[in-house]
Amino acid sequence: MSKFVRHFFVCTFDRPEGGRGSCGTSGSAAILSRMQTALFARPDLWPTVAVTGTGCMGLCSVGPAICVYPEGIWYTGVSAADAQLIIDEHLLGGRVVEKLVYHWPES
């Protein structure tokens, strides 16, 4: 079993400008960096919390997209302010930021 109680995956996939957009061109690299820096400063959390950059997760048009497992929480359209809230509340505090949660359409 995973040792991580919350594992953040931040899409950093780049698509060319002018199409349907991408997390990479929406600022996700800076978000990933801020999250990893915040976690780096909290070694007490390293055994149970992780942050990983990813390729495309399919939410290009509403990026930047982040998912958090095993909770199965998704955040999309993450602004710099959103990112700080997610860092303070969810990454470091373990509390889901409900107002930012993305709900997948029924498929």
Considering the rule CB under 8 A, would residue 1 count as an interface residue with a copy of itself? yes
Considering the rule CB under 8 A, would residue 19 count as an interface residue with a copy of itself? no
Mapped onto helix, strand or coil, the DSSP state of residue 56 is: coil
- Tell me whether residue 14 or residue 81 sits nearer to a copy of itself (CB atom): 14
Considering the rule CB under 8 A, would residue 107 count as an interface residue with a copy of itself? yes
Q: Which among 23, 25, 33 has a CA at the least distance from the CA of 76?
A: 23
- Tell me whether residue 23 or residue 83 sits nearer to a copy of itself (CB atom): 23
Task: Please tell me the distance from the alpha carbon of residue 59 to that of residue 44, in angstroms, as a whole number.
Answer: 32
Amino acid occupying residue 23: C
- Tell me whether residue 48 or residue 79 sits nearer to a copy of itself (CB atom): 48
C-alpha dihedral sign at 98, 26, 81, 57: positive
What is the greatest pairwise CA distance in the chain?
42
* Binding residues among 33-72 for a copy of itself as defined by CB under 8 A: 46-47, 50, 52-58, 67, 69-72
What are the residues binding a copy of itself (CB under 8 A)? 1-4, 7, 9, 12, 46-47, 50, 52-58, 67, 69-74, 103-104, 107
